Amino acid sequence: MTASIITIGDEILIGQIVDTNSAWIAQQLGSLGIAVRCMMSIADTENEIEATLRSAIEQSQVVIVTGGLGPTNDDRTKQVLLRLFGGTMVSHGATLEHIRKLFAQRGKPLTESNRRQADVPSSCQVLFNASGTAPGMMFERDGHVLIALPGVPFEMQHIMETSALERLAQFAHTDTLYIRHAVLHTFGIAESHLSERLQAFERSLPSNIGLAYLPSPAGIRLRLSGSGGQRDTLEQQLARAMQMLEQEVGDYAFGHGETSLPLEVGKLLQQRGQTLATAESCTGGKVSHLITSIPGSSAYFKGGVVAYSNAIKQSVLGVSPNALECYGAVSQEVVGQMAEGARRLLSTDYAIATSGIAGPDGGTETKPIGLIYAAVSSEHQTVIERFQFGNLRHVNMERAAYSVINMLLAMLRKKGR
């Protein structure tokens, strides 16, 4: 069973707002075993809406439409739905009563356009909207279903959760295709190398399971997606495939499902009652920002120093003037001393440090833009790595930040690399 998701509104087409409704709806449909084949954003004109809805309802058994139901003149969706599904426009009693109450509560007069919000085609089942004024509508014909919802995210979500999803589940139940996903997070290996490493694995996958690569500066997520008529069989197949995938990926894998490098590091530090500090040069605060973006990070993160100038590296972190002079700020000697200095200054179990040339200026022949040193220091050892990234400042800062957090995770897990 497949679905199309259609969002209506000029504010999306001019790029003024990002459409987040479609992703949310897709997740909900996925959990019912309904696969989305297409998402579309279109303009708020009757012609465009009519042509798009006609073709969507032919191609998909489920069509979800959001937007185009407000009280202002630029909303045409209800007229189109009336033409497509027939009937007459009628006022929905419970919705009109609800609108009256809302306006009375706010002490505002009820206008004609407010009253018209309760009008719906007689061919629909109303999905009551307790969180706003525009009701949801569900139309069925020849084994296809169309649900129209307001575009405001919390109203849309509220109607989906209180009534639309249940109706869809009943509708989808005639179909027996289950869809399941499983995600493995990796870091520190390029997409092309990962894909070569996984060639044989991909070929060995049963035809109902597929592998996708989702790269970002925070790592590459590997997603296994499977479909099948037997839920238990599908889940067993997916579990087996994930086990094999983990073996192939080895130490580059760092977690499953909804996670991130800062979250994995945080879990281990919190479990062990250990603490962390940061000393940043080229990343300029990005590392501590990532660490503190995790709720509850104050349990293990004591603080950090952004040592952008050499004077601060000396005076606050205690880097030796000698090391700065002989090797320069971007060197393994200095980054190691920065990590050790931060650990001492802030009295923590671990400290991580970065020093590099983020760009766009400051590169030389021997120290080009994108050269980054990173260090992790514990009571027992200081580990230093050298990275050569690309030419873009913000990407270099982000990759350096995730790389040093990954080094810390490796040390916490006592992996050799």
Interface with a second copy in residues 171-230 (CB under 8 A): 181, 183, 190-193, 195-196, 202, 210-216, 223, 225
Indicate the residue among 114 and 259 with the shorter CB distance to a second copy: 114
Candidates 54, 91, 93, 111: give the one binding a second copy (CB under 8 A): 111
For the chain, state the CA radius of gyration. 28
CB of 74 or CB of 97, closer to a second copy: 74
Q: Does 135 bind a second copy (CB under 8 A)?
A: no
Q: Judged by CB under 8 A, does residue 161 bind a second copy?
A: no
Q: Is 107 in the site for a second copy (CB under 8 A)?
A: yes
Q: Which stretch binds a second copy (CB under 8 A): 79-87, 226-234, 294-302, 374-382?
A: 294-302
CA separation for the pair 161, 415 (Å, rounded): 44
Paired tokens of 246:
């983990």
In this structure, the number of other CB atoms found within 10 A of the CB of residue 288 comes to 23
Q: Where are the alpha helices (DSSP H) in 145-223?
A: 153-159, 165-172, 191-197, 199-204
Q: One symbol per residue from 363 to 382: x for binding a second copy (CB under 8 A), - otherwise; what is it?
A: -----x-x------------
Q: Is 250 in the site for a second copy (CB under 8 A)?
A: no
Please select the residue that binds a second copy; options are 60, 66, 77, 133, rule is CB under 8 A. Answer: 133
Contact residues for 381 (Cβ-Cβ < 8 A; gap 6+)? none
Strand order in the sheet with 219-228: 209-216, 219-228, 178-186, 253-256
The region, left, alpha or beta by phi > 0 then psi within -120 to 50, assigned to residue 278 is beta
Q: How far is the CB of 341 from a second copy (least distance, A)?
A: 12
Is residue 291 a contact point for a second copy (CB under 8 A)?
yes
Is the dihedral angle over the CA atoms 157, 161, 167, 169 positive or is it negative? positive
Q: Which residue in 316, 328, 382, 383 binds a second copy (CB under 8 A)? A: 316
108 binds a second copy (CB under 8 A): yes
Site residues for a second copy, 335-364, by CB under 8 A, read 345-347, 359-362
Q: Cite the DSSP H helix spans in 90-230.
A: 93-105, 112-116, 153-159, 165-172, 191-197, 199-204
Cβ 35 vs Cβ 117: under 8 Å:
no
Count, residues near a second copy per rule CB under 8 A: 115
DSSP 309-331: SHHHHHHTT---HHHHHHH-SSS
d(CA 7, CA 65): 6
Chain residues 15-54 in contact with a second copy, contact rule CB under 8 A: 15-20, 22-28, 30, 35-44, 48
Name residues whose C-beta falls within 8 Å of residue 176's C-beta, 6 or more positions apart in sequence.
229
Taking CB under 8 A as the binding criterion, the range among 85-93, 263-271, 286-294, 376-384 that sits at the site for a second copy is: 286-294
CB closer to a second copy out of 99 and 124: 99
- 295 binding a second copy? (CB under 8 A): yes
Q: Closer CB to a second copy, residue 11 or residue 246?
A: 11
Query: What minimum distance in Å lies between the beta carbon of 20 and a second copy?
Result: 5
Question: Does residue number 143 form part of the binding site for a second copy (CB under 8 A)?
Answer: no
